[in-house]
Amino acid sequence: MPTGNLRRGSADVAPAAASRDAGTGRSLLTGLNRIRRRGSAPSGESSWGATIAQLVALTVIAVVFAASGVPAEYITLGVTVFIYAILASAIALLYHDGGLLSVAHGGLWGVGAYAAAVLVTKYNWQLGPVVLAAALAAGIVGMSLASISTRVAGSYFIIILFAVSEVIYGVMINWNSVTNGAEGIVLATPASLFGYRISTNMQWYYVTLITLLVVLLLLRVIKQSQLGQHLRAIRDSRPLATSVGISVARVHMASFAITGAMAGISGVYWAYLEKYVVPSQFSATASISFVVVVLLGGSAYLLGPLLGAVVVIFLPSLLHLSPLLADALIGVIFIAVILLFPEGVVGLVTWSLRLLMARTGLGRWLGPPGGKAPADEAGDTQQPVRPEHESRPAEEGLREA
């Protein structure tokens, strides 16, 4: 039904419910938590061992790649991949755990980039304070998105976030005194961090890699934290989450602020890498390409968005295609992934690997989030494997007849 996916007023109900039912709600959730921890990892997460293994593997591969003497342009592409992955991983948290498909994060990315460009060129700030300020700015703008997500859901939410990204773009292009309008700002000063100059792309490669690792670790912590639990509870059923005392407004504000801040940090690096910021980099088109990156890789997996970024960034230069054809090809691959492998490329890879390694026990390291636990853990309290969002109430009523 066109109007069936409207939600309103849940934010108003929440505080009252919280004061009344806080005790019950919390004990219910921690109870659930305990049950899940004993069995397999809670939905949306693999075990901590697997997380550490993945991050170590990422570090090793990234360092070997950089040290193996690949051409300089590949290092630049690598920096771009890390920058994209920071932002895409943040979007993936909102989509997978929150059921919120944000098409405004490209704009928040731009807020971070512009904050960097302005603070560096006009006030000559150092990298550390610039990153903090950009995270703060993008985080605050991001937090305001919660005022939308608490009122409308599903399709309406997506469309309004498109409007938000247009507003951010319009402000960038019109606020001449600060953003220099459509001409943009050149950012040629090398960054300095704790007295070190960061100017070469190889240095940026490691700076962005370390940031990405921190962001991934943080996202992993958030997924397991109460915030993550609440975010998933709201995704699965807003009325139910509200009834056990979860404040939709507070949880969404925190989630948008955190992911917005990550977008802002990513934007700072982008400004330094490109040495030039201009509004057209941060339009709705940018947001769309990040959504493509997230879902191509698979939003359910910690490294999914990173893999999506690798495909999107490296494919054109590996195939020596013209940028236009490469983008069209990515569109084709994207549609195929959405229709055939809804869990993304990582989902496809883990699925085939698990098929291969079913008996070796290696499969546990690649266990899908909330999916079937490996054989040795199986048995006690597994959650049924359910494709994400399959049962989201926002979409019921739109089933195929």
Partner 1 sequence: MNEQLLQQGFNVLSSASVYALVAIGLSVIFGLSGIINIAYGDFMTLGAYVVFVVAPGGAIAFIWGFAASAVAVAVLSIVLERALFRWTLIRPVNGFLVSLGLAQIIENGVAWHFGQDSVTVAPANSANWTLGGVIMSADRVIIILGTIALVVGLILFLDRTQTGTAIRAIAADREAAALMGIPVTRLVTGVFALGGLIAGLGGGFVALLQPPYPLLGAELVLKGFVVALVGGLGSVRGAVIGAVLLAFIETVLVTAGLAGWLDVIEFGAVILLLIIRPQGLARGLAHSM
Contact status: 14 vs partner 1 (CB under 8 A): no
CB of 23 to partner 1, least distance (A): 32
Q: Coil, helix or strand for 6? A: strand
Residues 198/192, Cβ–Cβ less than 8 Å: yes
Angle at Cα 119 formed by Cα 113 and Cα 122, nearest 5°?
Answer: 125
**Which class for 269: exposed (0-12), middle (13-18), buried (19 or more C-beta within 10 A)?**
buried
Of 171 and 348, which has the nearer Cβ to partner 1?
171
* Interface residue with partner 1, options 276, 342, 372, 383 (CB under 8 A): 342
What does the block give as tokens for 33? 């938590």
Q: Which stretch binds partner 1 (CB under 8 A): 74-82, 205-213, 264-272, 318-326?
A: 318-326
DSSP 80: H
CB of 152 to partner 1, least distance (A): 5
Binding mask 250-289 for partner 1 (x = CB under 8 A): ----------------------------------xx--x-
Q: Coil, helix or strand for 5? A: coil
* Interface residue with partner 1, options 87, 164, 251, 309 (CB under 8 A): 164
Q: Which residues touch 379 (CB under 8 Å, ≥6 apart)?
A: none
Residues 230/241, Cβ–Cβ less than 8 Å: yes
Of 64 and 339, which has the nearer Cβ to partner 1?
339
**Paired sense of beta strands 196-198 and 191-193, if any:** antiparallel
Of 99 and 112, which has the nearer Cβ to partner 1?
99
* N-to-C CA span, the chain: 13
Closest by alpha carbon to 223, among 160, 123, 299?
A: 299
Q: Coil, helix or strand for 121? A: helix
* Interface residue with partner 1, options 15, 49, 129, 331 (CB under 8 A): 331
**Per-residue burial over 354-377, b = 16 or more CB atoms within 10 Å of its CB, e = otherwise:** beebeeeeebbbbbbbbbbbbeeb
Of 95 and 270, which has the nearer Cβ to partner 1?
95
**Which residue, chain included where needed, has tokens 């807020």?**
111
Residues 146/244, Cβ–Cβ less than 8 Å: no
Contact status: 385 vs partner 1 (CB under 8 A): no
What does the block give as tokens for 28? 């219910």
Binding mask 182-221 for partner 1 (x = CB under 8 A): ----------------------------------------
Residue 196 neighbours by CB distance under 10 Å: 11
Rounded Cα distance between 340 and 338, Å, is 6
* Interface residue with partner 1, options 57, 338, 358, 375 (CB under 8 A): 338
Of 361 and 397, which has the nearer Cβ to partner 1?
397
Of 11 and 373, which has the nearer Cβ to partner 1?
11
What does the block give as tokens for 73? 């342009």
* Interface residue with partner 1, options 65, 162, 276, 351 (CB under 8 A): 162
Number of residues that bind partner 1 (CB under 8 A): 54
* Interface residue with partner 1, options 23, 124, 384, 399 (CB under 8 A): 399
* Interface residue with partner 1, options 82, 84, 114, 169 (CB under 8 A): 169
CB of 305 to partner 1, least distance (A): 15
Of 67 and 324, which has the nearer Cβ to partner 1?
324
CB of 321 to partner 1, least distance (A): 10
Containing 196, the helix (H) or strand (E) segment is strand 196-198
Q: Which residues touch 230 (CB under 8 Å, ≥6 apart)?
A: 29, 241, 246, 251
Of 127 and 253, which has the nearer Cβ to partner 1?
253
Binding mask 115-154 for partner 1 (x = CB under 8 A): --------------------------------xx--xx-x
Q: Which residues form the interface with partner 1 (CB under 8 A)? A: 1-3, 6-8, 101, 147-148, 151-152, 154-156, 158-160, 162-164, 166-167, 169-171, 173-174, 284-285, 288, 291-292, 295, 322, 324-325, 327-328, 330-332, 334-335, 338-339, 342, 389-390, 395, 397-401
